[in-house]
């Protein structure tokens, strides 16, 4: 068995058949079929059911494909380890964050990181929690900043800081200059613009409302943090987002609450039992150092 056989195997599985896989691999279909046959002969099992209109993995094929994916991930990690430079004079870092961190956290962190390590090529991705877990698991990401609730047991969660959510309004809101803490009853009377239900932040907000026994008047739902901020800046509705976002520069004011404000744990995520590049370890250390100062 050769590494080529594993790549061909995954191509057939991911593309649902030999024709499309051959196109992606830039090989002829007979060549691809022959390579898969060689792999099956060496293993003594059939990896694909070829009797139906679509090529599907057999039970043995599914098990072997899962192992093949893990092998290729480890090999790619090993390749990066060989090219890692301990003094950070070159290298790369693939960093991801969930959307609500982008308005207040990504800028200072990236500024400080590139100031310390100017020769590291940095790629920053704004991804959902689900996509972050997928990216870390398949080794397309090195490190991420997200929430502590991780479902994938192959991902390590390193606590970084506690994020506090805040009730905020823009300059057009009648409560913009309010300095008095609002009661639960007053909060219940506000009109809200919130992130849609597929955001982890919205789940945290909904839990807060449920605990406070508030049925919020949600008049606008938005699937983008930046769009939500624009809505708040230009309308008389309120929202709940990380309190660090509410700054005078953004034209936002954080309202005080009599009730306990919602909080959640923020963690650094990375793949367990994986090679961690010097660049990613340096970022982890910077993140923890920054969190300790705030």
Confidence of residue 286 (pLDDT cuts 50, 70, 90): very high
Fill in the DSSP letter of residue 257. B
Q: What's the domain count of the chain?
A: 3
User: Do both 244 and 203 map to the same domain?
Assistant: yes
Band the pLDDT of 159: cuts 50, 70, 90: very high
User: Between 123 and 19, where is the model more confident?
Assistant: 123
Domain range enclosing 216 = 163-262
SS3 per-residue string spanning 32-95: HHHHHHHHHHHHCCCCEECCCCCCEECHHHHHHHHHHHHHHHHHHHHHHHHHCCCCCCCEEEEE
pLDDT in tens, 253-268: 999 999 888 899 999 9
Q: Is the pLDDT of residue 74 over 80?
A: no
Q: Which of 29-33, 88-92, 194-198 has the largest mean confidence?
A: 194-198
**What's the average model confidence in pLDDT over 172-198?**
95
Together in a domain, 168 and 138? no
Same domain as 254, residue 138: no
What CATH number is attached to the domain comprising 24? 1.10.10.10
The reply to whether 217 and 150 lie within a common domain is no
Shared domain check, 239 and 124: no
> What 3-state DSSP class applies to 228?
helix
Average the pLDDT over each of 9-23, 44-58, 70-84, 89-103 and give the range with the smallest value: 70-84
Using alpha carbons, select from 114, 151, 110, 160 the residue that is nearest to residue 133: 151
Judged by average pLDDT, the poorest of 177-186, 187-196, 255-264 is 255-264
Q: Which residue has the higher pLDDT, 50 or 281?
A: 281
pLDDT (average), residues 30-52: 84
Least confident of 19-33, 140-154, 165-179, 279-293: 19-33
Q: Are 283 and 93 in contact (CB under 8 A)?
A: yes
Domain stops at, among 83, 113, 132: 83
Cβ 241 vs Cβ 225: under 8 Å: yes
Q: Are residues 113 and 180 in the same domain?
A: no
Task: Decide if 267 contacts 148 (C-beta within 8 A).
Answer: yes
Check: pTM over 0.75? Answer yes or no.
no
Q: Are both 47 and 22 inside the same structural domain?
A: yes
* Residues 232 and 99 both lie in one domain: no
Q: What does the pLDDT average to over 204-220? A: 94
269 and 153 share a domain? yes
Instruction: Tell me phi and psi for residue 199, to 5 degrees.
Output: -90, 135
Average pLDDT for 120-137 = 93
């Amino acid at each position: 068995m050769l590494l080529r056989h594993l790549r061909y195997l995954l191509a057939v599985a991911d593309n649902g058949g030999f024709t499309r896989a051959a196109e992606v691999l830039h090989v002829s279909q007979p060549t691809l079929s022959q390579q898969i046959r060689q792999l099956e002969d060496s293993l003594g099992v059939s990896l694909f059911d070829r009797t139906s209109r679509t090529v599907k993995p057999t039970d043995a094929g599914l098990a072997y494909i899962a192992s093949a994916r893990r092998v290729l991930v480890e090999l790619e990690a090993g390749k990066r380890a060989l090219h890692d430079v301990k003094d950070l004079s070159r290298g790369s870092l693939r960093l991801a964050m969930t959307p609500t961190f982008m308005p207040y956290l990504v800028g200072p962190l990236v500024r400080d990181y590139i100031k310390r390590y100017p020769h590291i090529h940095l790629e920053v991705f704004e991804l959902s929690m689900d996509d972050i877990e997928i990216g870390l698991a398949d080794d397309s990401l090195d490190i991420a900043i997200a929430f502590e609730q991780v479902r994938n047991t192959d991902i390590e969660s390193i606590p970084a800081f506690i994020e506090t959510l805040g009730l905020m309004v823009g300059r057009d809101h009648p409560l913009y200059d309010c300095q008095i803490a609002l009661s639960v009853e007053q909060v219940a009377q506000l009109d809200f613009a919130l992130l849609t239900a597929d955001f982890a932040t919205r789940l945290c907000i909904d839990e807060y409302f449920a605990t406070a026994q508030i049925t919020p008047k949600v008049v606008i739902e938005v699937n983008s943090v930046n769009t939500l901020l624009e809505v708040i800046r230009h309308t008389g509705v309120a929202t709940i987002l990380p309190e660090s976002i509410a700054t005078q520069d953004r034209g936002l004011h954080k309202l005080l609450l009599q009730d306990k404000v919602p909080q959640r744990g923020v963690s650094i995520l990375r793949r367990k039992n994986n090679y961690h590049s010097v660049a990613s370890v340096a970022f982890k250390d910077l993140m923890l150092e920054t969190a300790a100062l705030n």
